Amino acid sequence: MTQRSVNRPIRVVQWATGTVGSAAMRAVLTHPDMELVGVKVYSEAKEGVDAGTLCGLPEVGLPAVRDLRSIIALNPDCVLYMPERTDYDDVCALLEHGINISSTRAEFFHPASMPTDVRARIEAACAAGNSSLHTSGSSPGFITEALPIVLLSLSRRLDLLTIDEFANCIDGCSEEMLLGVMGFGETPEAFAARQFYERDEVFNHSLLALAEAIGIAIDGFEVTSEVALAMAPTRLHETSIAAGTIAGQRMVTTGLRDGQPVLRFRCNWFVTQDIDKAWDLRADGWRVTVEGDTPFEISIGFPIPEDKRRTVLPNLTAHRPVNAIPYVCAASPGILTTADLPQVVAQLS
């Protein structure tokens, strides 16, 4: 719990400046109650570059750094931790120095699902620094936890919650993420050799956090997946993927209660709809279906002009962790789930 005067802005460091990190940094720079005091980058090309330049805004006189000690020396209230991979040494160092973390990293959605030694180490760091760690985002995060908790407040019996996600990933992800992490553009053979344990587990963990919040015991998960191939070359950001390579991914993770489906997340991720499978794809968005004593269905779309997609779509992931910062800073020490925090209410500029 950061001890700070209510009369000053929350001091924030942006850690990593990819597509989502840049969106988060823009949000902090324009937030009425926050002050960006530092930027952590990984590449030599970004070191020393002004924070405003890195996120497409005017210069603010704040050069990016690459070393951890410089970030700790700034004594921020909170770090927006958004790298492509988690470094537990860095995370623990921040927490031990009393720096709270609001993150998009998937490892922290459900503390009980973390490796025992890792969880113990992070909780010890939180205790030592009187600090807190919370992870969020759009999916998983908002759509798998925050929104369902609100929607299910209408129910007294849940038979099955189904979340369908549709996402053209190009505008919401960096090229490094699309190619290196998600595997778009690979041959079916190379893709099949990939290990997506972490990707599959992250939705399990988020659904487990939801299940605990609403009092449902999950006794196991079923995960299935299939891929679709591009029918023609497809442009990403700077490069194109070839016809016959991975252009669509569908993964379904289902939480079971007494052997029956009760929570289900079904994603359709693609970089083009010109694929070799007859999938029922739709524009970016979500569909949530509740079956039980209060059945209903809602659909959420993103009416974003084509020329603004690359700058607006990342906001869906970036803004909730930014809006959660005051609550993370005020919370008791530890790893916090969505249900552990008060309702996140945005203070809009």
Same domain, 146 and 221: yes
Average pLDDT score over residue span 146-167: 97
Q: Which of 68, 57, 70, 61 is nearest to 24 (CA)?
A: 57
204-256 residue pLDDT tens: 999 999 999 999 999 999 999 999 999 999 999 999 999 999 999 999 999 99
Q: Which residue has the tokens 């974003």?
A: 304
Q: Which two tokens stand for residue 57?
A: 């805004």
When the pLDDT of each residue in the chain is averaged and rounded to a whole number, the result is 94
- The amino acid at 102: S
Task: Identify the pLDDT of residue 3.
Answer: 46
Domain contains 94: yes
pLDDT band, residue 2 (cuts 50/70/90):
very low
pLDDT band, residue 1 (cuts 50/70/90):
very low
Does position 70 have pLDDT exceeding 50, yes or no? Answer: yes
pTM: 0.90
Same domain, 213 and 306: yes
Range of the domain at 184: 139-312
Query: Which run of H or E residues covers position 106?
Result: none
Residue pair 80/24 in contact (Cβ under 8 Å)? The answer is yes
84-95 residue pLDDT tens: 899 999 999 999
Same domain, 217 and 201: yes
Same domain, 132 and 181: no
Domain contains 2: no
pLDDT band, residue 176 (cuts 50/70/90):
confident
Does position 177 have pLDDT exceeding 70, yes or no? Answer: yes
Domain contains 1: no
Q: Which residue has the tokens 């460091």?
A: 13
Average pLDDT score over residue span 125-143: 97
Does position 35 have pLDDT exceeding 50, yes or no? Answer: yes
Half-sphere exposure of 60 (CA within 13 A, CB side): 20
Same domain, 224 and 321: no
Same domain, 185 and 228: yes
